[in-house]
Copies of this chain bind each other. A is one copy, B any other.
Amino acid sequence: MLIIDIVKKHEPITSEEIAAKLNITRAALRPDLSILTMAGILEARPRVGYFFAGKNTKSLLAEKVRSIKVSEIKAVPVVIKEETSVYDAIVTLFLEDVGTLFVVQEDGSLCGVVSRKDLLKIAIGNADIRQIPVSVIMTRMPNLVTVTMEESAFDAARKIVEHQVDALPVVKLKEAEGKVKYEVVGKVTKTTITKLFVELGRV
């Protein structure tokens, strides 16, 4: 529509200027302008003029991406105990068909994360991987990057990219014996984000 196009191109623009461009009177323009303003398509600022108020695609997209919560997309985590041998951890990785294992203490609280690369590094060494527990090679608290249910998919993806990890444990804080502990209630991985991306592309 002509008025919208004119405002988009020349904002801020007064009603006199719009009328002049359309070669009509201000009186003839007034009903159109008031309906467009009421519809939220144009925005009128006193003494300045009319602006195009419609949100652009980029900010709509960003809003959507940031509105999706971790709780909506989280996947099921595979957890192992600290005492699990590196060999058994590798077997679990294949059996469960995952890329990252989360390591928990006796009370179930998170204490480490083991990746395929951690396992590969030890596997090519000369160590006896049936004797070594994963606790020796895992990345430990407090060096773990975690995410909570209330954070967004965007937050999770940003952490994955910035910290160069494949997976984040989704954690719930709990207090036990005066200490803050983390319960693992899910995971968000590069796979989770890739699946979400595919969902966004479906119409």
Contacts and interface: CB of A to CB of B under 8 A. Distances in A.
A183 to B, nearest CB: 25
A157 B41 contact: no
A51 to B, nearest CB: 16
A109 to B, nearest CB: 27
Interface stretch (A14-22, A76-84, A114-122): A114-122
A203 interface: yes
Contacts of A94: 117, 121
Contact of A161 (B40, B58, B60, B198): B198
Contacts of A191: 161, 190
Would you call the interface of chain A mostly helix, strand, loop, or mixed? helix
Number of copies: 2
A138 to B, nearest CB: 16
Interface of A: 1, 4, 31-32, 35-36, 38-41, 57-66, 87, 90, 93-94, 99, 116-117, 119-121, 123-124, 129, 152-154, 157-158, 160-161, 166, 189-191, 193-198, 200-203
